[in-house]
Amino acid sequence: MPRYKYALRSTIAVAVMVLAVAALAQSDTAVNPLSIEALIEIKHPSNPVWSPDGERVAFLWDRADIVNLYVASSDGRDNPLALTSFPDGKVADIFWSRNSRTVYFSRGEDLWQVDVAGGQARPAWSTSSPEEEFSPSPDGTKLAFVRARKFGEAQHGGDLIVRSLNDGSESVIVHDSESILSPIWSPDGKRIAYLGGSKVIRHDETPSYSGEKIAFAVFEYAAGQLYVVQAGGGKPIAIDTAGEYNGIAWLDSARLTYDRQSNGFKTRTIYVADANGDKPKAIHEDKEEKFWSLPDWEAESRPKPSPDGKWIAFLTDRDGWDHLYVVASHGGPAIQITKGHFEVWRPRWSHDSSRIVFDANEPDHPGNRRLGVATLGTDFNNTKIDYVTSDMGTNIDAWWSPDDKRLAYQHTDTHNSADIFVTAATAGSKPVRLSDSMPPSMDRSVFVEPQLIHYPGPDGQSVPAWLFVPKNLDRSKKHAAIVWIHGDGINQNYNGWHVQRNYAVYYSYHQYLLQQGYVVIAPDYRGSTGYGRDWRNGVHMDVGGNDAKDAWMAANYLKTLPYVDSERMGVWGLSYGGFFTLIAMTDQPTLFRAGVDVAGVADYVMYYHDPYNNDWTEGRIGTPQQNPEIYANASPLSHIGQLARPLLVLHGTSDVNVPFLQSVWLMDEALKKNRGDLVQFMIYPGEFHYFSREHVLRDAWNRVDRFFSLQLREADRSKQ
pLDDT in tens, 468-477: 999 999 999 9
Closest CA to 281 of 322, 224, 337, 240: 240
Arithmetic mean of pLDDT over the chain = 92
What's the pLDDT score for residue 296? 86
Q: What are phi and psi of 228, to 5 degrees?
A: -130, 135
Q: In the Cβ-directed half-sphere of 42, how many Cα atoms lie within 13 Å?
A: 28
- The reported pLDDT for the residue numbered 424 is 97
3-state SS class at 612: coil
Q: What is the pLDDT of residue 6?
A: 32
Which range is most confident: 139-153, 165-179, 706-720?
Answer: 165-179
Q: In whole angstroms, give the CA distance from residue 521 to residue 500.
A: 19
With a cut of 70, say whether residue 537 has pLDDT above it: yes
pTM tops 0.75? yes
Question: Residue 614: its pLDDT value, please?
Answer: 80
Torsion of CA 459, 462, 465, 468, to 10 degrees: 110
What does the pLDDT look like over 217-276, one tens digit per residue?
888 888 899 999 999 999 999 999 887 899 999 999 999 999 999 999 999 999 999 999
pLDDT at 22 > cutoff 70: no
Whether the per-residue pLDDT at 718 is higher than 80: the answer is no
- Check: CB of residue 112 under 8 Å from CB of residue 124: yes
* pLDDT for the residue numbered 715: 56
15 — pLDDT class (breaks 50, 70, 90) = very low
Angstrom distance (rounded) from CA 198 to CA 177 = 10
Angle between helices 501-515 and 694-708 in degrees, nearest 10: 40
**pLDDT (tens digit per residue) in 72-89:** 999 999 999 999 999 999
Q: Which of 218-222, 452-456, 531-535 shows the lowest mean pLDDT across its residues?
A: 218-222
Q: How confident is the model at residue 464 (pLDDT cuts 50, 70, 90)?
A: very high
CB-based contact 540:533 (threshold 8 Å): no
Question: Would you tell me how many other CB atoms lie within 10 Å of the CB of residue 427?
Answer: 14
Residue 5 has pLDDT above 80, yes or no: no
Report residue 560's pLDDT band, with 50, 70 and 90 as the boundaries.
Answer: very high
Mean local confidence (pLDDT), 635-663: 96
pLDDT of residue 31: 52
The reported pLDDT for the residue numbered 101 is: 97
Q: Percent of the chain having pLDDT more than 70?
A: 94
β-strand partners of 424: 406
User: What one-character-per-residue DSSP string does 122-190 give?
Assistant: EESS--SS-EEEEEE-TTSSEEEEEEEEEETTEEEEEEEEEEETTT--EEEEEEESS-EEEEEE-TTSS
Which of 237-241, 397-401, 706-710 is predicted least confidently? Answer: 237-241
Name the pLDDT band for 32 (thresholds 50, 70, 90).
Answer: low
> From CA 11, how far away is CA 14, in angstroms rounded?
9
Q: By C-alpha distance, which of 512, 637, 680, 647 is closest to 34?
A: 512
- Rounded distance, CA 647 to CA 595, Å? 5
629, HSE (Cβ side, Cα atoms, 13 Å): 3
Cα separation, 421 vs 432, whole angstroms: 5
Following CA atoms 354, 358, 362, 365 in sequence, which dihedral angle do they give, to the nearest 10 degrees? Answer: 160
At residue 118 the predicted structure's pLDDT band, cuts being 50, 70 and 90, is confident
CATH topology of domain 449-718: Rossmann fold (3.40.50)
Separation of alpha carbons 661 and 650, rounded Å: 12
**Banded pLDDT at 20 (limits 50, 70, 90):** very low
pLDDT tens sequence across 284-337? 999 999 999 999 888 999 999 999 999 999 999 999 999 999 999 999 999 999
Alpha helices in 173-304 (DSSP H): 296-299
Helix (H, G, I), strand (E, B) or coil at 633: helix
